[in-house]
Amino acid sequence: MTFDYPVSLDLTGVEVLVVGGGPVALRKATGLAEAGALVTVVAPDVVDGFQSFAHRVELRPYRDGEAGDFRVAVTATNDPAVNVRVAADAKAAGVWVNSADDPQNCSFILPAVARRGSVTVAVSTDGTGPALASRLRTEIAQRFLTEHVEAAADELARRRAEVHAAGASTEDTDWSGLLDAAFPESDRSGNLCNPVEGG
């Protein structure tokens, strides 16, 4: 059995194609744009919202082979045949592709993500159960992505920068005091003393 290999991509200025103009495509395109990608949307029709952030919106059908002109492609249409074409074109060109709700035609899958400040939590089920990934993401965010964690991340970044500026390495630094302060409601076993009901 093999597993997905999680990574965090720097998409700043990267040309990304999103094929589809519905709510699912909008959600995926929004996340890509928030990560700094230059998003081109291709679809005969689009719901409201794309124009506020997309690099380009082209109201037309997908053209064979055009996925190869981008570094990342996402297809989220209501036509399975189009989604398969986009995925095949992307894979043939060595372009990373995500096909919504179709893990067999993906070269990468999108985890459920929660962010607070510089802290990002991503949960994946290797594409087998997106609903479970979303629920786990919500539970983790509610329990652990607190103001204490955000403050600890900011302080950790500041202290690491000071260590690096002094020409030292942070690899052997004991950060346990700072990290313990990020979880004031936890006991030392890592369990919350007051867990959210229903988790």
Q: Which two tokens stand for residue 136?
A: 């786990």
Q: Look up the pTM and report it.
A: 0.79
Q: Which of 84, 110, 136 is the last residue of a domain?
A: 110
Of 19-28, 75-84, 118-127, 153-162, the one with minimum mean pLDDT is 118-127
Determine the average pLDDT of the residues in 150-174: 92
pLDDT at 192 over 50: no
Whether residue 163 sits in one domain with residue 88: no
Whether residue 147 sits in one domain with residue 127: yes
In the predicted model, what is the mean pLDDT of the chain? 90
Closest CA relative to residue 43, chosen from 62, 16, 24: 62
* Amino acid (1-letter code) at residue 87: A
Q: How far is CA 98 from CA 28, 29, 41, 133, 180, in A?
A: 10, 12, 14, 17, 38
Q: Would 3 be classed as within a structural domain?
A: no
Q: Would 2 be classed as within a structural domain?
A: no
- pLDDT tens sequence across 96-135: 999 988 888 999 988 899 999 999 999 998 888 889 999 9
The number of domains in the chain is 2
CATH number reported for the structural domain that contains residue 44 in this entry:
3.40.50.720
Q: Would 198 be classed as within a structural domain?
A: yes
What is the span of the domain harbouring residue 43? 15-110
What percent of the chain lies above the pLDDT cut of 70? Answer: 92
Q: Which of 85, 110, 135 is the last residue of a domain?
A: 110
Q: What is the DSSP letter of 186?
A: B
